[in-house]
Amino acid sequence: MKQDKKLNIRSLLRNRNYVRYWFASAIADAASNILQFVLALYVLDITGSAGQFAVILSIVVVPRLVLMPFSGLAGDRLPRMKLMMALTLINAIFLAIFFLLGQNQSLSIAAVYVLVIGLEITEVFYAGPSSAIIPDIVTPEEINEATSLSKVDDGIVWVTSPMLGALIYANLGVVPAIGVTAIMYLIASILQKTIRTPYALPAPEKKEKTNFFVEITGGIRYILGDRFLTGFILILPVFNAFFSATFSVAVAYLLREAFELSVEAYGLFNTLTTTVSLFVPFIAVPLVKRVPFKKLYWRHSAIIAITIIIIALFAFLGLNNYIGVITSVIIIGILDAITIIAAIPMQMTCSVFFRTQTPKHLLSRVMMVVSLVSSIGIAGGKIAVGFLVDNMGIYRAIAVSGMLLLICALSAKWLYDKAHCASAQNETLSAQE
C-alpha cells in the first residue's frame, strides 16, 4: 500500500495539469485568505463589537442562498476549468477597480459590504467547479493522493496567509492589500488558462429540453435518496456553524480585544497554529483509506468538541487572571492546533467520499448542496456566537459552542450506528439468499 501511495504521488507530480492546478489553487486561495484576514481585522478595528463584526462576516450567506443552486448546475454543465479561470480573472478586475477607487478615500463599512458581496458572488460560482475538478485532472486511482496534496496546498495557504495579511495590513493598510490580492488573482487565472482536463466527461450532445427545476435540484434529490446523507446534511450546518465561529469570532475577539494582542502577534498566532496543516494531510491518507467516512467523522467531531470546551476553560482562567495572558494564549494556540489536526482528516474523508461515491454528472450539484448548508450554518453560527460573546461573555460563548458540537458528534455517532446496523442486516439477508 505504501508503495502504491508513493507511485501515485510521483505520478501526480509528473502530471503537469495537476501541478499547475496545485499552484493556481494555492495562489487564488492565498489571495482570498489574505483579503478575508485583512478585511476581518479592518472591520473589527472599526466596529469594536463581536456582534457587529459577526454580522458583517455573515453577509456572504445572502448571495450563497440565491446563487448556489445555479452554481452547481453551471459546474456540471459548463467546462469546469474554463469557468474557474474566467471567475478568477473577474475577481482580479473587480479588486483592481476597488484598489484604484481607494487611492483618494478610506474604505467605508458600506464599501466593505459591496466588496464582500461582490467577491462572494464569484466565489459561489467558483465553488461548484472547483469542488469537482480533481476527478477531471487525475485518474480514479489517484483521487486519494490528489486530495491529500490539495490539503497540503490548503495548509501552506493557512500557514502563510495570516502572517502575510497581518504584515500587509500593519505596514501598508487595507487598500494596498486589495491591490496585492488583485495581482495574485491575475497570476492564478493565467495559470488556470494552461490547465487541461483529460478525464472530464465529454460535452453532452444536444438533447430535448428538460425541466429546469428537476435539473437544478438533482443534488438535493440524490442526497435525500440516502438515509445517512440526509441525516448528515442536517448535522453538518450546525457543526460547521459553531466550529468555525468559535475561532473566527470568539477566539479572534478574545485575542484582539480582551487580551489586546497586536495585529502582528495575532497573525503570528494564526500562522503557528495552522503549521500542523502542512504535514497532517500526508499522515491522514492511510487513516482516510482505512477508517470509514461515517466512523471517522463522529470520532473526530467529538475530539474537536471536547477540545473547544477545554479552550473555554483556559479563556476563563486567562480573563480572570488565574494564569497569565501569555500562558493562556500559548495553551489556546496548542488546543487550536489540535482541532486543526482533527479537522483535516474529516475534511479529506468527506471530500473523497463524495468524489468517489457520487455520479460524476451530479458531482458539482451534490457538492453545492453540501457547501450551501455549510455556508448557511457558518453564517448563522457567526451571528449566534457574536451575540453570545456580547451578552454572555467570551468563555461562556466558547463553552456553549463546545457543548453544541458535542451534541452534533453524538448525533453523528447515532447515524453511524444506524447505518452500520442496516449494512449488517443487508449482508445477512444477502447471505441467506
Helix (H, G, I), strand (E, B) or coil at 267: helix
The alpha helices in 143-262, defined as continuous H runs, are: 143-171, 174-193, 212-216, 218-224, 227-245, 252-253
Mean predicted confidence (pLDDT) in 72-89: 81
**pLDDT confidence of residue 49:** 64
Separation CA 317–CA 260 (nearest Å): 16
**Nine-digit cell at 121?**
458572488
Q: By percentage, how much of the chain surpasses pLDDT 70?
A: 82
Least confident of 169-173, 302-306, 310-314, 397-401: 169-173
**Nine-digit cell at 289?**
483509506
Average pLDDT, rounded, for the chain: 80
Count other C-beta atoms under 10 Å from residue 11's C-beta: 16
**pLDDT confidence of residue 203:** 54
Answer for the pair 43, 54: CB distance below 8 angstroms, yes or no.
Answer: no
- Minimal CA–CA distance to 18: which of 123, 142, 107, 113? 142
Separation CA 286–CA 352 (nearest Å): 13
Separation CA 375–CA 369 (nearest Å): 10
pLDDT tier for residue 52 given thresholds of 50, 70 and 90? low
CA dihedral 374, 263, 324, 321 (to 10 degrees): -70
Answer for the pair 382, 54: CB distance below 8 angstroms, yes or no.
Answer: yes
Q: Which amino acid appears at position 190 of this protein?
A: I
Least confident of 154-158, 182-186, 294-298: 154-158
**Nine-digit cell at 30?**
492565498
Least confident of 261-265, 319-323, 427-431: 427-431
pLDDT tier for residue 324 given thresholds of 50, 70 and 90? very high
**pLDDT confidence of residue 54:** 66
Answer for the pair 82, 17: CB distance below 8 angstroms, yes or no.
Answer: no
**pLDDT confidence of residue 422:** 56
pLDDT tier for residue 426 given thresholds of 50, 70 and 90? low
**pLDDT confidence of residue 372:** 74
Mean predicted confidence (pLDDT) in 179-208: 81
pTM: 0.66
**pLDDT confidence of residue 36:** 81
**pLDDT confidence of residue 353:** 78
Question: What are the distances in angstroms from CA 318 to CA 132, 187, 249?
Answer: 44, 44, 18
Q: What is the DSSP letter of 255?
A: I
**pLDDT confidence of residue 429:** 45
Mean predicted confidence (pLDDT) in 75-101: 87
Separation CA 50–CA 330 (nearest Å): 22
**pLDDT confidence of residue 87:** 92
For 334-381, what is each residue's pLDDT tens digit?
Answer: 999 999 999 888 888 887 777 777 776 677 677 777 777 777 787 788
Answer for the pair 285, 142: CB distance below 8 angstroms, yes or no.
Answer: no
Separation CA 145–CA 138 (nearest Å): 10
**pLDDT confidence of residue 289:** 76
**pLDDT confidence of residue 59:** 67
Q: Which residue has the higher pLDDT, 217 or 327?
A: 327
Name the CATH topology of 2-196+215-428.
Growth Hormone; Chain: A; (1.20.1250)
pLDDT tier for residue 303 given thresholds of 50, 70 and 90? very high
For 234-261, what is each residue's pLDDT tens digit?
Answer: 888 888 889 988 988 899 889 988 898 8
Mean predicted confidence (pLDDT) in 7-12: 67
Least confident of 277-286, 299-308, 312-321: 277-286
**pLDDT confidence of residue 320:** 94
Answer for the pair 295, 198: CB distance below 8 angstroms, yes or no.
Answer: no
**pLDDT confidence of residue 322:** 94
Question: What are the distances in angstroms from CA 135 to CA 28, 262, 349?
Answer: 20, 43, 15
Least confident of 125-139, 175-189, 338-352, 401-415: 125-139
**pLDDT confidence of residue 1:** 47
Separation CA 30–CA 47 (nearest Å): 25
Domain boundaries, given as residue ranges, for the chain: 2-196+215-428
Least confident of 139-148, 170-179, 258-267, 329-338: 139-148
Mean predicted confidence (pLDDT) in 404-417: 87
**pLDDT confidence of residue 191:** 93
**pLDDT confidence of residue 142:** 76
**pLDDT confidence of residue 57:** 62
**pLDDT confidence of residue 419:** 67
Mean predicted confidence (pLDDT) in 107-125: 82
